[in-house]
Amino acid sequence: MEAEKLRSQTGWEAVFDGAIVIGAGAAGLAAHALMKAGVPTLVLEKESRLAEPWHRRHQRLHLNTHRDLSTLPGIGYPAGTPAFPHRTAVIRHLNDFSQVHRLPVTFGVAVEEITFDGDHWTVQTNSGSRPARHVVVATGRDRQPFIPAWKGMKDFAGRIVHSADFGEAKDYAGKKVLVVGAGNSGFDVLNQLADADAESIWLSARNGPSLLPKRICKIAVHRLSPFMARLPVRIADAVMATTQRLVFGDLTKLGLPPASIGGASRLSADYTAIAADDGAVRAIKAGMIVVVPPLREFTRDGIILNDGRFITPDIVISATGYRTGLEQMVGKLGVLDGKGVPLFNGGEADPRLPGLWFTGMRPSIRGCFANARIQARAIAARIVKRR
């Protein structure tokens, strides 16, 4: 029934002379920029409701980006919203944005593959094929949780979970927990575990973090992100490294390995977001969280570390990042790097593939919401120029 309704509204048996946006998250909902620019727009969302990933995350999750820099166009957060909004506020914000602007989101449509047919694109979905002049892939860089294939992990008698499935901090009370990874997700987990009354907490990381506090003297550090984003990368690296050392001291003295490169450089080199501390460093300094070397392999009863030590966690939390999961959708087009991240993003495009756009595929100092606005405007401007 929904497919018939969509067919009558858009005439997608003929080529849709506008943009099909795939994904209705923060990046996808910024399709408002396309509509505002006069571009006919249709948003396809595979889930049955908006903000599904936010619904699934743990109850204490807050944005690491400031409220005032995390709004979508034309709508703000209600009075009284904390500076770093809770996930329920983010969910409400996304829904309010969709309703206020009457965004044309069709739910329950999963995109299987996108093919180029010379003068247009064909979006293959679970409800049929939809040709269009432009396709904007906005499914997000955190689409699929990634857990490495560690040696012996299948024999481990304990639990292995991804940080996306962290659940509730209280569930870890009395447990021995190993967190693998000291990036943004790893420190979010550690911030929660610092107050969880776990029996033991270990942190294992191959690379040291680019770490900033949420506040310095009651000033939200993220409010400086627009300024930081305009700095040359090497200067932004130096500013972040200096801030980290002044606030936390030398983290290598706590056992953390040194960061391989600067925080701004890592954003562009391997898409590693900057971590935010909200109690984890205090817990490490107090001995509540013990930093250990990288893990070598799993056994049935525990884990052998690189230095030969043996630890026996009940639960291993893999804070090892995400993948875009775009291989099936666009893998045949030659537009992905070795990690599955699109080679171009925002207003950038491949001249051999006119009309294909990606947004929200790389982290930004500004944060995902601010970046979504910037990239949406850039894409809209390019599409208007082409039309």
Per-residue pLDDT of the chain (387 residues; tens, 9 = 90+): 344 444 544 445 689 999 999 999 888 888 899 999 999 999 999 999 999 989 888 888 889 999 999 999 889 999 999 999 999 999 999 999 999 999 999 999 999 999 999 889 999 999 999 999 999 999 988 899 999 999 999 999 999 999 999 999 999 999 999 999 999 999 999 999 998 999 999 999 999 999 999 999 989 999 999 999 999 999 999 999 999 999 999 999 999 999 989 999 998 888 888 999 999 999 999 999 999 999 999 999 999 999 999 999 999 999 999 999 999 999 999 999 998 999 999 999 999 999 999 999 988 899 889 999 999 999 999 999 887
Alpha helices in the chain, H assignment, sequence order: 2-10, 26-29, 32-36, 52-56, 87-100, 184-193, 225-230, 233-248, 263-269, 280-285, 327-330, 368-386
Is pTM beyond 0.85? Reply is yes
Q: Two tokens at 261?
A: 């490169």
Eight-state DSSP code of residue 347: T
Instruction: Give Cβ neighbours of residue 78 (< 8 Å, ≥ 6 apart).
Output: 89
User: What are the two backbone dihedrals, phi and then psi, of residue 333, each rounded to the nearest 5 degrees?
Assistant: -90, -10
> What is the C-alpha separation between 161 and 318, in angstroms, rounded?
6
- Secondary structure of residue 180 in the 3-state scheme: strand
> What is the C-alpha separation between 112 and 129, in angstroms, rounded?
10
**Residue carrying the six token digits 């775009």:** 326
Instruction: Give Cβ neighbours of residue 262 (< 8 Å, ≥ 6 apart).
Output: 210, 233, 234, 236, 237, 238, 240, 241
Q: How far is CA 235 from CA 152, 215, 260, 268, in A?
A: 42, 21, 16, 14
> What is the C-alpha separation between 313 and 169, in angstroms, rounded?
16
Eight-state DSSP code of residue 91: H
Host H or E run for residue 136: strand 128-137
Q: Closest Cα partner for 97 from 51, 39, 139?
A: 51
User: Do 342 and 141 meet the contact criterion of CB atoms below 8 Å apart?
Assistant: no
The count of other CB atoms within 10 Å of the CB of residue 139 is 26
Q: Closest Cα partner for 383 from 30, 5, 2, 33?
A: 33
Instruction: Give Cβ neighbours of residue 154 (< 8 Å, ≥ 6 apart).
Output: none
- Quick one: pLDDT at residue 74? 87
User: What count of residues does the chain have?
Assistant: 387
